Amino acid sequence: MRRFEFKARVYYSDTDAEGIVYHTRYLDFAEHARTEMLREALPDVPQSELAKGENGIIIVIRSMEIDFRSAGYLDDELTVYTEMIDMQHFSCTFQQDIMRGDKVLCSLKVKAAFISSATRKPTPIPDNIRKAMIG
C-alpha cells in the first residue's frame, strides 16, 4: 500500500511554556497527514466535495492506539509517515509515525470508518478511494 510523507514544523502554539509539544498536537499532525495523503491520492476531488451529494461520504475515526515515545520541541521539523496497513469493506487502518530526523516521537494506529453523509450509516469505501490508496 502507499506510504505518504508529510512535513510539519512545531510552532509556539503547539507547545507548552517549556517549548514541549502538547500531547494532543500529535493527533493534529497525524490528522493533517491523513488529509494530505487523501488529497494527494485524489487530486481532482476537493475535500469539501467528499461529503456532498447522494453518494457523499464522511471518514470518521473509529479507534486509535497511541504510543508517545519522546518529546517534540519548539521549532522541530517533523515528518509524519502514513501508510494504510489494512483495508476492509467499510473501514481502513493507518499506521503513522511522527518523527524528528531518525527518532520516532509518536506512533499511531488509526482505524477509520466510512459512513454515508446522507444516512450516517456505514458505507463501502468508494472504488476511487480504494484504488487511489492502494496505488
User: Into how many domains does the chain fold?
Assistant: 1
Q: Which amino acid is at 6?
A: F
pTM of the model as a whole: 0.93
CATH of the domain at 78: 3.10.129.10
Using 50, 70 and 90 to split pLDDT, how confident is the model at 83? very high
pLDDT at 74: 98
Domain membership of residue 128 as a residue range: 3-134
Q: Which residues are catalytic?
A: 16
pLDDT at 94: 97
